[in-house]
A = this chain, B = another copy of it.
Amino acid sequence: MSKTLSLTAFVMNTASHIVHGTWRDPRGKQRDFNDLSLWTSLAKELEDGGFDTIFLADVVGLYGDYEGGWEAHVRNGLQVPSNDPFTLASAIAATTERLGVAVTAGVFQQPPYNFARQISTLDHLSRGRVAWNIVTGYLENGFRNYGYEGMLPHDERYDTAEEYLDVLYKLWEGSWDDEALKKDRKTGIYADPAHVHKIHHESKHYKVEGPHLVSPSPQRTPLLFQAGASTRGKAFAAKHAEAIFINTPSPKVAKSLIAEVREIAVENGRNGEDIQFFQGQSFVIGETEEEAQKKAKELDEITDHKMMIAHIGGGMGIDFGKWDLDTPIEDIETEGVRGIFNWIKQSVEGRKPTLRDVADHHGKSTRIVGTPEQIADRLEEWLDAGVSGINVINAFIPSSYTEFIEKVVPVLEERGLLKEREAKPETLRGRLFGQDRLSERHPAAKYRGAFGGVRS
């Protein structure tokens, strides 16, 4: 079990990511997300302030309809417009020294050969600070932007993802041996061709000859992030992920989820500790508890509850705009609502939860309101439950992070809850796992040296 917490900043290259409506507040500089300096100054602040990673979320399409269309999404900036996170990641990597940069990308967004090369290039230029958040997509419009008629069935998405990863692993781990690169001025040998291999991949969806064009980068395979929550999703994450982003309502639930996923990981030949878990968490910080509660109330007042509901429903393919916010959830006869109901009834006791409760709850189930000391106490509970990191959700960029860094980080440091920095910059995997390269127990490791004989 990890003895320290790794801090990750959960952001998206858009105006309204999670806590909707806050872009209207002057503290919310995310309104100007097109301006690179917002991100580079945030990244430097995070790097200097004790954060290990900036996590760039993304979706590549509109959320499902609300009130019969997508006008509300555009009007309120609900993750549209949004900019490509990979492009931003490269700019951030170029302007920082130590910060890990986690980038979200779907397996249907780019051919694997191209994606592998972009990631490897980013790993070189960041000196090994890249993580990839593997997503399989859940928005109809997202698929229709990429040539599909609509969303692929859930299991087909994961099957395709397995194939996609297979190509990437071959390129990242198998195409170049460690001893390939010589750069030898005297002999004139730049790389030894006996150690560079085509991969000749052929599967249902992909045919890729290789070799990888990029020589081995510091991490080779980027640190692999995932957030699958379904049964298939958990199995996928347990097999491939090194870091899993969770949004559990309590340390107790987290503990049981962690045990479950690690058990599947062990069945896949991995060790439980090969996977670390990052809990999503937002914070309202006060000098006193009273002040914190007052600030929380003020934040709730500027939060756009209709957009909170549009976001949740839009991700599930349910248009909650058809019902009034005070409609009890159990009165909504729509497939998929039962899941929400189970999730929300834990926090609403003695009455029927409504859509308003769902909106109210979203982003608050994992919100801690209190003094820095109270927050540190609560974070220790997550640590004790087996969580390795906290993915810090913001209401305002950058001030949510500025406040956390100024007020909470010193308390965490005083308690020894943050890992001290090495004198020299590390790779992201080195920082989290103590080694630059993927564990030998990971499925990708089987491709190391696997193409030795191929010269055609």
Contact = CB atoms under 8 A, between A and B. Distances in A.
A117 B59 CA distance: 12
Contact of A70 (B118, B183, B193): B193
B215 A40 contact: no
Interface in A101-135: 109-111, 113-114, 117-118, 120-122, 124-126
Most chain B CB inside 10 Å of its own CB: which residue of A60, A82, A90, A145: A145
A214 interface: yes
Interface in A295-313: 304
Contacts of A188: 21, 24, 75-76, 304
A214 B83 contact: yes
A405 interface: no
A87 B121 contact: yes
Nearest to A124: B34
Work out how many copies of this chain go into the complex: 2
B110 A110 contact: yes
Contacts of A126: 36
Contacts of A207: 144, 147-148
A42 interface: no
Contact of A145 (B16, B109, B124, B209): B209
A398 interface: no
Give the interface residue-count category, chain A: 35 or more
B208 A147 contact: yes
Interface stretch (A91-99, A239-247, A330-338): A91-99
Interface of A: 13, 15-16, 21, 23-26, 31-32, 34, 36, 40, 60-62, 69-72, 74-77, 80-84, 86-88, 90-95, 109-111, 113-114, 117-118, 120-122, 124-126, 141, 144-148, 176, 181, 183, 185, 188-193, 196, 206-211, 213-215, 217, 304, 455
21 contacts: A23-B185, A31-B183, A32-B183, A34-B215, A60-B114, A60-B117, A62-B211, A71-B455, A74-B191, A75-B193, A77-B191, A81-B181, A82-B213, A84-B114, A84-B120, A87-B118, A88-B90, A88-B121, A90-B90, A94-B94, A188-B304
